C-alpha cells in the first residue's frame, strides 16, 4: 500500500506543466534563475543556479545541471545528465571548501565566476561536462561523455576527456554559407522558404546551394 501511495504522489508531483511557452517537469528546480526564449522543454531532474539564458526551441535532457553565468543559443539539444559549470572552487587559497560549515560560508565569495556561451544549433550528447570559461560555436557536436574545458569552433565534432576536435562537419565554404544564412534567426515563414536546404546531405558538398 505504501509503495502504491508513493507512486501516486510521485505521479502528481511530477506532472508536466506548460508555462509561458515552456514545458516543465515538476521535479526540476531553480527555474527562477532562467530566462527562456520560448518553445523550450525542461524534463525531470534539472537544476539551475546563477544567471542562465536558454534560446528559442532549445530542449534539455533529464538531470541536466546548469550553474553560473550561462548562455545557450536557439535550436540546441542537450542529452541526459549534461552538466554545465561556469563556477569553480577557489584554487589559489588555503582551502577549496566553500560550504556553510566553515566560517558560516564566507569563503563562498572566493569561488571562481566564469562565463559559458553556447551558440545556436549545438548538439550536446549524453553525460557531457562543460567547465570553465568556454565558448562553443554554432553547429558544434559534443560527443557523449566528453569533458569540455576549452573553446570549440563552429561546426566542429569533439570527443574525449579532455574533448578534442575529431573533424569539421562540413567544408569551410559550407560552414561560411550557413553562418551567413543564420537560419536560426529567421521566422517560421522564412524557414519554410528554405526548408529544402534542411533535407540536403552536405557530405562532400562544396556549397549548400549545389
CA torsion, ordered 179, 127, 112, 165, to nearest 10 deg: -40
- List of residues 6+ apart from 3 with CB closer than 8 A: none
Which of 7-11, 69-73, 79-83, 199-203 is predicted least confidently?
Answer: 7-11
Residues recognised as catalytic: 89
pTM of the model: 0.88
In the chain, domain spans? 2-87+115-168, 170-210
Q: Give the three cell numbers for residue 31.
A: 527555474
Q: Is the pLDDT of residue 56 over 50?
A: yes
pLDDT tens-digit readout, 86-106: 998 888 888 888 888 988 888
CATH 3.20.20.70 given to domain 2-87+115-168: no
Distance CA 11, CA 16 (A): 10
User: 101-148: per-residue pLDDT in tens?
Assistant: 988 888 888 888 899 999 999 999 999 999 999 999 999 999 999 999
With a CB cutoff of 8 Å and minimum separation 6, the contacts of 185 are 74
Amino acid at each position: 500500500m505504501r509503495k502504491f501511495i508513493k507512486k501516486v504522489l510521485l505521479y502528481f508531483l511530477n506532472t508536466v506543466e506548460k508555462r509561458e511557452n515552456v514545458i516543465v517537469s515538476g521535479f526540476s528546480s531553480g527555474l527562477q534563475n532562467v530566462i527562456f526564449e520560448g518553445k523550450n522543454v525542461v524534463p525531470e531532474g534539472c537544476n539551475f543556479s546563477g544567471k542562465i539564458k536558454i534560446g528559442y526551441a532549445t530542449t534539455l535532457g533529464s538531470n541536466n545541471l546548469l550553474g553560473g553565468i550561462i548562455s545557450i543559443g536557439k535550436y540546441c539539444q542537450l542529452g541526459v545528465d549534461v552538466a554545465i559549470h561556469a563556477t569553480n572552487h577557489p584554487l589559489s587559497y588555503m582551502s577549496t571548501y566553500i560550504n556553510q560549515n566553515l566560517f558560516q560560508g564566507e569563503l563562498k565569495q572566493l569561488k571562481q565566476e566564469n562565463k559559458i556561451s553556447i551558440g545556436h544549433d549545438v548538439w550536446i550528447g549524453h553525460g557531457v561536462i562543460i567547465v570553465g570559461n568556454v565558448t562553443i560555436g554554432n553547429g558544434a557536436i559534443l560527443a557523449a561523455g566528453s569533458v569540455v574545458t576549452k573553446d570549440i569552433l563552429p561546426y566542429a565534432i569533439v570527443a574525449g576527456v579532455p574533448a578534442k576536435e575529431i573533424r569539421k562537419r562540413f567544408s569551410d565554404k559550407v560552414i561560411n554559407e550557413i553562418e551567413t544564412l543564420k537560419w536560426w534567426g529567421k521566422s517560421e515563414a522564412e524557414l519554410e522558404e528554405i526548408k529544402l536546404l534542411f533535407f540536403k546531405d552536405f557530405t562532400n558538398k562544396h556549397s549548400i546551394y549545389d
